[in-house]
Amino acid sequence: MINYFNYPEKKNWHEILQRPAQDLSKLEAIVLEVFNAIKTERDRAVFNYTKKFDGVELEDMRVTDEELKEAEKLVDDDLKNAMQVAKANIEKFHVSQKEEVKIIETVGGVKCWRKNLPIEKVGLYIPGGTSPLFSTVLMLGIPAKIANCSEIVLCSPPNKDGKIHPAILYASQLIGITKIFKIGGIQAIGAMAYGTETVPKVFKIFGPGNQYVTAAKQLVYKTGTAIDLPAGPSELLIVGDNMANPGFIAADLLSQAEHGADSQVIFVTWEKELILKVQKKVEQQLKELPRKEIAQKALDNSKFILVKNKEDAIALTNEYAPEHLILAVEDEDFFTDKVQNAGSVFIGNYTPESAGDYASGTNHTLPTNGFAKAYSGVSVESFMKKITFQKITSEGLQTIGPIIEKMAEAEELEAHRRAISIRTRSSFEEI
Amino acid sequence: MINYFNYPEKKNWHEILQRPAQDLSKLEAIVLEVFNAIKTERDRAVFNYTKKFDGVELEDMRVTDEELKEAEKLVDDDLKNAMQVAKANIEKFHVSQKEEVKIIETVGGVKCWRKNLPIEKVGLYIPGGTSPLFSTVLMLGIPAKIANCSEIVLCSPPNKDGKIHPAILYASQLIGITKIFKIGGIQAIGAMAYGTETVPKVFKIFGPGNQYVTAAKQLVYKTGTAIDLPAGPSELLIVGDNMANPGFIAADLLSQAEHGADSQVIFVTWEKELILKVQKKVEQQLKELPRKEIAQKALDNSKFILVKNKEDAIALTNEYAPEHLILAVEDEDFFTDKVQNAGSVFIGNYTPESAGDYASGTNHTLPTNGFAKAYSGVSVESFMKKITFQKITSEGLQTIGPIIEKMAEAEELEAHRRAISIRTRSSFEEI
């Protein structure tokens, strides 16, 4: 079931580490159809597609206060308490991401600074399906609140009874998100990107989803709505040596594998015997899992790679750029110093990926598919943008004016040059 | 020539402030053709399209050391000096953007932090055309160097003699960029996104360009190469009152108008007489400009908007979200406190946009087309990504373990739960 690679040559790494290609072009026609309908028929189109795709006829797409109250009753106290603790941890880490304004005087009389401001209107998409992903409500909603976005819209598909899972509604309430809509898939992304009578138009859309949601997000990006991250299946790469516990590694690999048949699971080591030990533990533990069919499929594509040494292990890791990276190694500093490309890193035997998925405090919305080479995971900054400011005194402009004039002249932009000379070569009153 | 709006009603602002729609879908076929050729024929395809689109047959697409030396001789000392001063200012402001690592202990035994790392390989595109945009080399190259990107590739189209403008080459040398290629347009974006025998594949592409470059950047984004910003024509909005100098405002509006016929120029005030004064100055100054035909065309689409008061002026500004915003107003604090959406803000009578274009220290690669509602301009962070780290002790996991188990159970992800319980419910040796 597992694919083994023994000391693969460097030139073959790229091929070994290939992810399955995603071709969403076939989905574009249906996405465009839904978007065009939403742009013209707005709410009516959303109701129609909800009936068509989710199989439910809604009277109101808004979640009412009564439904929120009902959800609060349905969620048990232990889960409420767990969410509250997770919220506190996530808040503590994310609040530390807020930045102070630093005013820099680049030359005398020339002051420059940046100010962090919230993106005013943001949309969060929470998928439906088998698992109610209330943890994603926390991971997106908490930084949105810390950023102080003035309008936070949340969409999640209704089930056959026209309801959203109570845990999702409770998590939303806990954070203070009140504009919640029972809309799923393409129509949710379209409604938030273009706006309808009921759903406010937002400037940036966050959240995971299936291929249709991914294709829809790609398309709204092209027409000017920002998105959090390009999407791909979830991934875990573990580097382990003899200080690692094979049972722990197996448990972590399986926790990734149960996400979906397309999950990417990779184990890298330079300890030959460890591979067999981990494999044995994987086989044992797999049997006990309720989602073993899904996990099995993911394991069929998993890769156990034996490398020569630590240097090759980190080089291969950086080449792959995993979403999640577990370092169960003796020489932690060697690896943490050299890791270049990864979404989130879990260090040591007692830092499983599950911790970051739920409650350590870091965000679980992370770059997949090798995007960690250029993208960061979601943070408070993802919900903000920076504006630069500059203020120059009359004296400051006398200092840098000639520099600007010379450069503008060389770029053959005479009006740029004159915007300086009109200020530096005559008195205010003469103009 | 100028379009006037007197006290337009709020409900009409959106329409008044519309930008011309960009439809790049017609260009996709040619972009795809070039990309497919580059993916299969690599260097050969680049040479062919350079011959076809730039009308020049190159023997080598690399800029040689001799060419760099020659360029250094061709640039005059005053311009060299100007670039050096500009570089120092841009560096001073951008260096201040580097962030320290903050380790946060979210609960006892649970430590989380973020580390800023360079995007290893980046590509800079510098357009050719009439003006040699060496200032953009500084604006992209300096933050790339501060971020410490290990591979910085620069592409710019060759002229009919197979050369790149000496000012562009000198600016590149000044920063320490040595991988410079004579490639323009779609083939430059494709070569950097997919790599050829000669051009290294990069992870993120920066820089302005015409519609073909914009369409090419949109397409590489879809296949996993990050890009700096979605593109659109350059824009300036000025808010002025009676403390403003009509001649200065006119000069700034014209400096924006000379960029291109599609430049967006807007003047907003609540002082009725000021509109006529500025108009008069614009007419006077326009006559003297070498690029007056271009500026005239941009002015034909320009908007002078009379609003009731300061409150409406800032509300309209935030609705438009200008790339550049000049505040030539008495009550600066009122405006700087309330500005929500803008790329870069220029405060007072002696802070023309030209200053930020070249030498104040701020970056001139900014969000156009209303994208300032969700995007920031280019900064050192644009060349970096953040990795989150977490390290949990055995005791720390005992504390947050039950929380994670409860949440994983509620999300029906049993393997996630077990990755915790295997660590917290048995001793290390038992597993």
Secondary structure of chain B in HEC code, one letter for each residue: CCEEEECCCHHHHHHHCCCCCCCCHHHHHHHHHHHHHHHHHCHHHHHHHHHHHHCCCCCCCECCHHHHHHHHHHCCHHHHHHHHHHHHHHHHHHHCCCCCCCCEEEECCEEEEEEEEECCEEEEECCCCCCCCHHHHHHHHHHHHHHCCCEEEEEECCCCCCCCCHHHHHHHHHHCCCEEEECCHHHHHHHHHHCCCCCCCCCEEECCCCHHHHHHHHHHHHCCCEECCCCCCCEEEEEECCCCCHHHHHHHHHHHHCCCCCCEEEEEECCHHHHHHHHHHHHHHHHCCCCHHHHHHHHHCCEEEECCCHHHHHHHHHHHCCCEEEEECCCHHHHHHHCCCCCEEEECCCCCHHHHHHCCCCCCCCCCCCHHHCCCCCCHHHHEEEEEEEEECHHHHHHHHHHHHHHHHHCCCHHHHHHHHHHHCCCHHHC
Q: What pLDDT is attached to residue B23?
A: 80
CA A43 to chain B, closest CA, distance in angstroms equals: 21
Does pLDDT of B128 surpass 90? no
- A397–B203 C-beta distance less than 8 A: no
Question: Residue A387 falls within a domain, yes or no?
Answer: no
Closest chain B C-alpha to A340 CA, distance in angstroms: 7
Band of residue B130 on the pLDDT scale cut at 50, 70, 90? low
Specify the DSSP class assigned to residue B18.
P
Taking each helix axis from N to C end, the angle separating A414-424 and A394-410, rounded to the nearest 10 degrees, works out to: 160
Question: Tokens 């598919």, residue?
Answer: A369
Structure tokens given for B130: 């009439």
- The pLDDT of residue B283 is 95
| pLDDT score, position A130 | 66
Comparing CA positions, the residue from B424, B420, B399 lying closest to residue B409 is B420
Selected residue of B80, B94, B110, B121 to mutate for chain A interface (largest A Cβ count, 10 A)? B110
B72-94 residue pLDDT tens: 999 999 999 999 999 999 999 99
Using an 8 Å Cβ cutoff, are A267 and A308 in contact?
Answer: no
Other Cβ atoms less than 10 A from the Cβ of A52: the count is 10
Residues A117 and A170 in one domain: yes
B413: confidence class by pLDDT, cuts 50, 70, 90 = very high
Query: What value does the mean pLDDT of chain B take?
Result: 95
In a domain, B375, yes or no: no
* A385: in domain: no
Residue A379 domain-assigned? Answer: no
Q: Does A241 lie in the same domain as A103? A: no
Handedness of CA B246, B248, B251, B253 (dihedral sign): negative
User: Which residue is listed with tokens 């107003």?
Assistant: B329
- Which residues does chain A have within 8 Å of residue B371's beta carbon, measured at their own beta carbons? 224, 226
Cα separations in angstroms, B37 against A385, B158, B169, B202, B220: 38, 20, 28, 18, 14
Written as six digits, the tokens of A361 are 């405090």
B39: domain CATH number is 3.40.50.1980
- Please answer whether residues B399 and B109 qualify as being in contact, where contact means their C-beta atoms are separated by less than 8 angstroms: yes
Q: Are residues A290 and A418 in the same domain?
A: no
Q: Which pLDDT belongs to residue A106?
A: 97
The verdict on A121 and A250 lying in the same domain is no
Please compute Rg for chain B using Cα positions: 26
Residues A220 and A250 in one domain: no
- Give the per-residue pLDDT at A336: 98
**Rounded CA separation A416/A404 (Å):** 8
* Cross-chain Cβ contact A79/B407 below 8 Å: yes
Beta carbons within 8 Å of A87's beta carbon, 6+ residues apart: A138, A142, A174, A175
Lookup result for tokens 């503590």: A92
Range of the domain at B184: 24-227
DSSP for residue A412: T
Cβ–Cβ below 8 Å for A340 and B120: yes
For chain A positions 150-209, those within 8 Å of chain B (CB to CB) are 167, 203-204
Residues B126 and B245 in one domain: no
Residues A268/A246, Cβ–Cβ less than 8 Å: no
pLDDT digits (tens, 9 = 90+) for B274-314: 999 999 999 999 999 998 999 999 999 899 999 999 999 99
- Could you give the CA distance from residue A342 to residue A373 in angstroms, rounded to a whole number? 7
How close A347 gets to chain B, by Cα (Å)?
A: 5
Distance in angstroms (rounded) separating the CA atoms of residues A112 and B94: 10
Q: Is residue B315 part of a domain?
A: yes
| Separation of alpha carbons A216 and A226, rounded Å | 12
Q: Is residue A383 part of a domain?
A: no
Q: Which two tokens stand for residue B241?
A: 């009152």
Q: Is the pLDDT of residue B426 over 90?
A: no
Per-residue pLDDT tens digits for A250-270: 999 999 999 988 999 999 999
- Assigned token pair, A402: 């000639």
Nearest to B271 by CA among B2, B1, B6, B10: B6
pLDDT at residue B129 is higher than 80:
no
* Integer Cα distance of A208 and A353 in angstroms: 18
Taking the Cβ of residue A375 and every Cβ of chain B, the question of whether any pair is shorter than 8 Å is answered with yes
Domain boundary among B317, B340, B361: B361
- Asked if A216 and A31 touch (Cβ cutoff 8 Å), the reply is yes
Closest chain A residue to B344 measured between Cα atoms? A388
End residue of a domain, out of B361, B377, B406: B361
- Chain B residues in contact with A374 (beta carbon < 8 A): 119, 203-204, 225-226, 385
Residue A406 CB neighbours (<10 A): 23
Same-domain check for residues B168 and B217: yes
Same structural domain for residues A175 and A269? Answer: no
Contact between B83 and A411 under an 8 Å Cβ cutoff? The reply is: no
Give how many domains chain B has, as a whole number: 3
B-interface mutation test, from A360, A394, A420, A424, most B Cβ less than 10 A away = A360
- Separation CA A362–CA B110 (nearest Å): 11
Tell me, yes or no, if B104 comes closer than 8 A to chain A by beta carbon: yes
- In chain B, residues with a C-beta closer than 8 Å to the C-beta of A214 are none
Instruction: Based on the fold, state whether residues B12 and B123 are members of the same structural domain.
Output: no
Query: Pairing relation of β-strands A226-227 and A151-156?
Result: unpaired
Q: Are residues B189 and B317 in the same domain?
A: no
Of the candidates B197, B227, B257, which is a domain's last residue?
A: B227
Put simply, the answer to whether B79 touches A410 (Cβ < 8 Å) is yes
Whether A133 and A201 map to the same domain: the answer is: yes
With an 8 Å Cβ cutoff, are B415 and A295 in contact?
yes
Q: Which residues of A touch B131 (CB under 8 A)?
A: 411-413
Instruction: Please tell me the distance from the alpha carbon of residue A193 to that of residue A215, in angstroms, as a whole number.
Output: 13
Instruction: Examine the domain organization and report whether B111 and B31 are in the same domain.
Output: yes
- Mean pLDDT over B167-193 rounds to 97
- The yes-or-no verdict on residue B162 having pLDDT over 70 is yes
* Mean pLDDT of each 10-residue bin along chain A, 431 residues long: 92 93 87 97 97 95 96 96 97 93 96 98 90 94 98 97 96 96 98 98 96 94 93 94 97 95 95 96 94 92 96 98 98 98 98 97 97 98 98 97 97 96 85 68
Task: Answer whether B224 sits within 8 Å of A413, measured CB to CB.
Answer: no
Asked if residue A55 belongs to a domain, the reply is: yes
**A209 lies in some domain:** yes
